[in-house]
A = this chain, B = another copy of it.
Amino acid sequence: WEGEFFPGIPKIKYEGPNSKNHLAFKYYNAEEMILGKKMKDWFRFSVAFWHTFRGTGADPFGAPTKYWPWEDGTNSLAMAKRRMRANFEFIDKLGVDFWCFHDRDIAPDGKTLEETNKNLDEVVALAKELQGSKIHPLWGTSQLFHHPRYMHGAATRYATICSYITLSVTHYLGGENYVFWGGREGYQTLLNTDMEKELDHMARFLQAAVDFKKKIGFNGTLLIEPKPQEPTKHQYDWDAATAANFLRKYGLIDEFKLNIECNHATLSGHSCHHELETARINGLLGNIDANTGDPQTGWDTDQFMTDVAEATMVMLSVIKNGGLAPGGFNFDAKLRRESTDVEDLFIAHIGGMDTMARGLRNAAKLIEDGSLAELVKKRYQSFDSEVGTAIEAGKADFEYLEKKAIEWGEPKVLSGKQELAEMIFQSAL
């Protein structure tokens, strides 16, 4: 394969909201300053190698549908290298600075572990070269869910080797984070499962990873990615609060942060905004997998987010968090099975980036306007009273509180002003 992978597609430029060009940004303007920071620095967008270059369009009922012109139908090492070159042309044309990878997706398995590792080394060397000085992995991860050896769970001997190597590789490529995504850490039925034993082992495995990270001098953040279920009936890292409880129980709370995925949030019965806020107030908001699900389906659809209202709520959390760096926004999102044109890959990413950019602009507008914050502040004004202050200082015991309550009588209960809050919010969109 010589020359361009995406011959008809130019470098994607910002053309503003009136552009009708499908291959241009209408809202994302990388260098524009918003709330004191460049747009690109708020987002730190990343392309997910596995979806964009290894997504086949297969689903539980259907065969692959994508036949990208650069694919030769094999899973050879040569093909892996060609695909990696396509990846960097894509990243360059899209104008982002980060990518994310699974070890097993960037290089083919060999017949032996040695060969597998050798394959990975060759592809990684090429990636290093193609990265140049500007591009790095936002994060790497070891893909520990596809092979049958992981079917009962992956925090096992074999997983260790993979994590050992992938952590090293991520470090070598200048990756800024490393994700542990279970996938098989959970159960299909409690009847054959010892949940306590499995969680104990998982904690030991993660502790060993922390030790190893320090040993090799990797300063990136380790991330856990909550997901409630699928492929298992129950995944141990169900949601942000469940993952936080696990980290606290096993003394790992200071060593990990969370990678929140919007589609996983809704599968667990929460809004994406809720999961981000839960992670944030537990000090755990490390990265966002920028995708969305379908509110009417009960599985992970991994769609590119196109809902501007949701993107605005996401950005309200991100701004409160002071940004995400060293984390960012990874497009853990895939084309629909029926989208089979090469240009669809660009259209989808542009749509996702424009949506997030609209979210950022709207969130900034809301913050600059100030009425929403004012409404919230008013709602909690009693917290700043004498009693509120005493409670916050831990000085209010039951006797004191009872005395005050009797003294003051029935409290006046103010309107929650939800419809007004929604009106203010919608007006910014």
Contacts and interface: CB of A to CB of B under 8 A. Distances in A.
Contacts of A191: 372, 418, 421-422, 425
Contacts of A402: 160-161, 164
A59 B60 contact: yes
Given A294-B233, A338-B152, A417-B341, A422 B306 contact: yes
A111 to B, nearest CB: 11
Interface in A184-235: 184, 188-197, 199-201, 204-205, 207-209, 211-212, 228-231, 233-234
Contacts of A296: 229, 233-234, 266, 269-271
Interface stretch (A74-82, A128-136, A324-332, A391-399): A391-399
B208 A396 contact: yes
Contact of A157 (B201, B306, B387): B387
A1 interface: no
Interface in A363-382: 371-372, 375-376, 379-380
Contacts of A33: none
Interface stretch (A3-11, A41-49, A141-149, A171-179): A141-149
Most B C-beta atoms less than 10 A away, residue of A147, A188, A266: A188
Interface stretch (A91-99, A119-127, A256-264, A307-315): A307-315
The 3 closest A-B CB pairs, nearest first, are A298-B298, A338-B416, A245-B245
Interface of A: 17, 20, 22, 26, 57, 59-65, 113, 145-152, 156-158, 160-161, 163-164, 183-184, 188-197, 199-201, 204-205, 207-209, 211-212, 228-231, 233-234, 238-239, 241-242, 244-246, 248-249, 266-271, 273-274, 277-278, 281-282, 294-301, 304, 306-309, 313, 335-341, 344, 347-348, 350-351, 354-355, 371-372, 375-376, 379-380, 383, 387-388, 391-392, 394, 396-399, 401-402, 404-406, 408-411, 413-423, 425-427, 429
